[in-house]
Homo-oligomer: A and B are copies of this chain.
Amino acid sequence: MTETVTPQRTLTVALGDRSYPIHIGVGLLQQANVLMPYLAGQQVMVVTNDAIAPLYLETLCATFPDHLDVRTVVLPDGEQHKTIEQVGRIWDALLEAGFNRRCTLIALGGGVIGDMVGYAAASYQRGVAFIQVPTTLLSQVDSSVGGKTGVNHPLGKNMIGAFWQPKAVLVDTDTLTTLPSRELSAGLAEVVKYGLIRDEAFLSWLEENMQALRNVEPVVIAEAIAKSCQIKADIVAEDETEQGVRALLNLGHTFGHAIEAHQGYGNWLHGEAVGAGMSMAAMLSHQLGWIDDAALARVQAVIESAGLPLAAPANMSVDDFLVRMRLDKKNIDEKLRLVLLTALGDACVSDETPTATLRDLLQRYPRD
């Protein structure tokens, strides 16, 4: 962690002819002309939500030259609105504007907006360009990298979607200054995850800098975002469609999705559920003898210090978990596949956890 932090830095997600840049910096929303080379044509549809629109929509739109045909769509805020119906509103707006295959969608907002706009772009006229402008820590370090797009279904999270890569990602760290601290913590869950699955040195750095991160100190937060994006970009470049190593990015997510689905989307933030889920995965890894007491304690301490919940919801039984977990996309032909820790900074996908062991974990895991 000795790199010099400059006001702006650019990473590249290497995916052959679908490679794209991630620009990270302070005040980048006022420099959206950096996006001009990535527009497919004159038609631009900026999609955001009603919480973000008053803060940043005008700033972003003001940066585009007059000759562009810039339209906007404002959707309701919240994970509970991550539905095919809301994606339909984007399609309606595109068609009402008469936008063609050379239009460009811009997603201004958190992961929910990014996922929906990406899916809208993947499916409009069988695929048009889109650009991510993520405004939450979670979306900056996670959903803006990797090309996963989609919406929820009443029977499961992210069940409908596509792999569709953006043309560019623009991360303005200034947007984090207006982010509620609960959402900042939810983003830190994914940052911690990168350390846990891939990089013990980064994990140690996070332990040391957690308070600075929670205070949104610009240099520290930019460093954490860049490092997180780099780890994810490396993994995605290795395995774009999640046949292998990319599955490790789901540490804590099988448990976490079960919590989110059971509680009703939007009641637990995604990152909060992943925080508790990573703790559950770590405890299962410990129960299997893969990590020791000290490692488990470090995992739980860093999750807690990020301001995340460790306990599972009081109203979830063992069977509530099991039923929801079997619907998770990682479970191929009835075998329950879980991401588990083999060390701090190293993880694997295993389908060999005996059901009895899992039931035992779910039974004794602390509830609220």
User: Taking beta carbons and an 8 Å cutoff, which residues of A are in contact with B?
Assistant: 41-43, 84, 88, 91-92, 95-96, 98, 100-102, 119, 122-127, 148-150, 153, 155-156, 158-163, 241, 326-327, 329, 331-333
Contact = CB atoms under 8 A, between A and B. Distances in A.
B98 A126 contact: no
A10 B150 CA distance: 36
B160 A148 contact: no
B91 A123 contact: no
A68 to B, nearest CB: 12
11 contacts: A43-B333, A91-B160, A96-B155, A98-B327, A100-B332, A122-B162, A123-B123, A123-B161, A124-B160, A125-B329, A126-B163
Given A102-B332, A148-B126, A332-B100, A88 B84 contact: yes
Contacts of A150: 123, 126
Number of copies of this kind of chain in the complex: 2
A291 to B, nearest CB: 29
B332 A101 contact: yes
Nearest to A103: B333
Contact of A162 (B41, B126, B331): B126
Given A88-B84, A98-B327, A126 B161 contact: yes
B333 A42 contact: yes
A47 to B, nearest CB: 16
A142 to B, nearest CB: 16
Contacts of A102: 332-333
A331 B327 CA distance: 42
Given A42-B333, A125-B161, 8 more contacts: A91-B153, A91-B160, A95-B153, A98-B326, A101-B329, A102-B333, A125-B160, A125-B329
